[in-house]
A and B are shown apart, each in its own frame.
Chain A
């Protein structure tokens, strides 16, 4: 939300938490005012809030007694925000109060990101169990619950533990800061992209993890190659030595 930013000297943000119907909570202290050159502010929210935006303008050379103000969102004027503002005490005070239940989750990147993001795939073996972990930073708010999803092509489906209790286990930590998905009895089909979602009142934030399942033969092949190389070299060295000593014995000192 911006008031006509070229004229805004101060933009105060007042946050009022609103839990359902109770509105008896006192307003929180204002966040520090934004200067004219600050174009955006990031607020992290967990639950829906009532947000008050206040714009203060000290006016220009022509100090008109009243002006008409309006607010814009994403560049478009908000309906019914046009107000006549008086010039009082050397400034115009322009205010807008909104219930930001739905707007907040779209406008502000308010949902915390998951702390532990793996850029490399987790590699596991067939028949083994794989553990996929998602952690939320301790300093960030705790999610209400966690969900795990499995990507099938372009779609993702939620993993339901009750459907296949032997295959999947979801273990969440007491404090809800960490979740673990255990996939038992891995097969090649289990390879793919998995997502964990941290569920909050305003939305779910996701993080992705790739699982690769390989057969045990895969690392065994290089191992056997190296073993063969070792045996060949050892045999070669010992045979060379034997032939050398035979030569010395036959030719004499």
Chain B
């Protein structure tokens, strides 16, 4: 750690050590966040029978939970920048646990919408945002790997929760199961406890070296002032002036629109092709299983010195790969090939999700990331809610599943190609701006550019170039 160059901000991310415990905590937190809405669907039939509601009414529980999880992003960002990750994740875990426990007493569907959907969803949104933020604070050089490992929580927990939920349902009925699920979600509080803040302000002066004291303090007060400004705005719309951000947002919206529909309809498509019910359900398990391993693997690949500087292109490649899988799916008729499709779908999906937040961190830098991610998630709420029903509509109108896959594949492909082309343009413009600035200002003024666009990318380039030796040494010694 000591051989790494002193970076501009003065607080060097630990990139290891306690950071791996933080990644473990984020893994649990993100795992619950993404898998709970899906795992709840196992209880729907029982709840439907007990409360006498229709299936679509019950299915709204999951949709509301997901929607609130994404829509709560901006509020969550503000809270995280103000209070830090640890108290937020612990609060989120507590909220989720309490929401499920109260839901187990529910007698009406509206009560469940409120408890599980709104309160539970908000708790998950606190978890998600805070976990991602703390990773960006703890890691820089190994950040793609840390992100890949943390995001792997989603398929891992889904694989784990699905059989557990089945068992709970058979033993305790849906009420007891929801209660126990709430208890399990309290473990997010444990995850939160692991998220030790990186530079606790009062301890900074006691152990930093003298030479480091003045610079970081100056920067800390500057940063604190800017945090204050941003915290006051729930939706910091100035992000929309950032070219890289807008490009990322458009590409992502297109991806999210097409991403979830194939998952929702995969079993139905398989059954339509004549596959037996249990075998069709296995397809999703295969996809989840492959996803579990692909996410950390992608993180590892993205961390390599060839890919890291071009991570945005790698992200576009992942999206195009995903799209190609979907476009080829209608040609598949036999079960064996459907299994192959499910595996490749898992690969593509896992690759994109491992990189989705890493790329945003790469663009925004760790200070602006919390607010950025809040804005991204609330915008992504709309394609996420509209995607599957739109796809379902296509199936109903044309009576054929192939149009669903064509639509999803083409939308994702457009998104991927858009990102690829626009990133080339963006990097080109950034290089031009950097060259222009270098000609105008002297080298000392570079330190003030940490608020501007190019800084994070530039900093990472210098960090990476300078820290390459460090990384190579560390990788052979650690983990």
**A residues whose Cβ falls under 8 Å from a Cβ of B:** 120, 122-125, 131, 133, 214, 218-220, 222-223, 226-227, 230, 233-234, 237-238, 241, 245, 248-249, 252-253
Q: Is the CB of A226 within 8 A of B190?
A: no
Picked from A120, A227, A252, the residue with its CB within 8 Å of the CB of B186 is: A227
Picked from A219, A220, A245, the residue with its CB within 8 Å of the CB of B203 is: A245
Q: Is the CB of A248 within 8 A of B207?
A: yes
Quick one: closest B residue to A120, CB to CB?
B170
Q: Is the CB of B209 within 8 A of A223?
A: no
Quick one: closest A residue to B25, CB to CB?
A237
Contacts of A220 on B, CB cut-off 8 Å?
A: 179
Contacts of A252 on B, CB cut-off 8 Å?
A: 207
Q: Is the CB of B189 within 8 A of A123?
A: no
17 A-B pairs with C-beta separation under 8 A:
A120-B170, A125-B173, A125-B176, A214-B173, A219-B175, A219-B177, A219-B179, A226-B180, A226-B186, A227-B186, A230-B187, A230-B190, A233-B190, A234-B90, A234-B193, A238-B193, A249-B206
Interface code B201-224, partner A: CB below 8 Å = 1, 0 otherwise?
001001111000000000000000
Q: Give residues of chain B (148-206) contacting chain A, Cβ–Cβ below 8 Å.
A: 170-173, 175-177, 179-180, 182-184, 186-187, 189-190, 193-194, 196, 203, 206
Q: Is the CB of A241 within 8 A of B196?
A: yes
A205 to chain B, nearest CB (A): 21
B20 to chain A, nearest CB (A): 14
Residue count of chain B within 8 Å CB distance of chain A: 30
Q: Is the CB of B182 within 8 A of A223?
A: yes
Contacts of A131 on B, CB cut-off 8 Å?
A: 49-50, 52
Q: Is the CB of B176 within 8 A of A253?
A: no
**How many Å lie between the Cα of A54 and that of B10 in the bound state?**
100
Q: Is the CB of A218 within 8 A of B183?
A: no
Q: Is the CB of A237 within 8 A of B194?
A: yes
Q: Is the CB of A223 within 8 A of B180?
A: yes
Nearest 9 pairs between A and B by C-beta?
A: A219-B176, A123-B173, A226-B183, A253-B207, A223-B183, A237-B193, A219-B172, A234-B193, A233-B190
| B101 CB within 8 Å of chain A | yes
Q: A227-B183, A245-B203 are in contact. Are A123 and B209 (CB under 8 A)?
A: no
Q: Is the CB of B183 within 8 A of A222?
A: yes
Q: A123-B176, A219-B175, A248-B207 are in contact. Are A237 and B190 (CB under 8 A)?
A: yes
**How many Å lie between the Cα of A241 and that of B52 in the bound state?**
50
A194 to chain B, nearest CB (A): 14
Contacts of B196 on A, CB cut-off 8 Å?
A: 241
Picked from B90, B173, B207, the residue with its CB within 8 Å of the CB of A124 is: B173
B22 to chain A, nearest CB (A): 12
Q: A133-B49, A241-B196, A253-B209 are in contact. Are A234 and B176 (CB under 8 A)?
A: no
Quick one: closest B residue to A124, CB to CB?
B173
Q: Is the CB of B175 within 8 A of A125?
A: yes
Q: Is the CB of A234 within 8 A of B182?
A: no
Q: A125-B175, A219-B172 are in contact. Are A233 and B193 (CB under 8 A)?
A: yes
Quick one: closest A residue to B86, CB to CB?
A238
Quick one: closest A residue to B101, CB to CB?
A223
**How many Å lie between the Cα of A122 and that of B170 in the bound state?**
8
**How many Å lie between the Cα of A169 and that of B320 in the bound state?**
58
Quick one: closest B residue to A252, CB to CB?
B207
**How many Å lie between the Cα of A233 and that of B208 in the bound state?**
30
Quick one: closest A residue to B94, CB to CB?
A230
Picked from B104, B186, B208, the residue with its CB within 8 Å of the CB of A230 is: B186
**How many Å lie between the Cα of A220 and that of B179 in the bound state?**
8
Contacts of A227 on B, CB cut-off 8 Å?
A: 183, 186
**How many Å lie between the Cα of A133 and that of B49 in the bound state?**
8
A231 to chain B, nearest CB (A): 9
A73 to chain B, nearest CB (A): 39
Quick one: closest B residue to A219, CB to CB?
B176
Picked from A120, A122, A218, A234, the residue with its CB within 8 Å of the CB of B189 is: A234
13 additional A-B pairs beyond A214-B176, A234-B90, A234-B190, beta carbons within 8 Å, are A120-B170, A123-B171, A125-B176, A131-B52, A214-B172, A214-B173, A219-B177, A223-B179, A234-B189, A234-B193, A237-B193, A249-B207, A253-B208
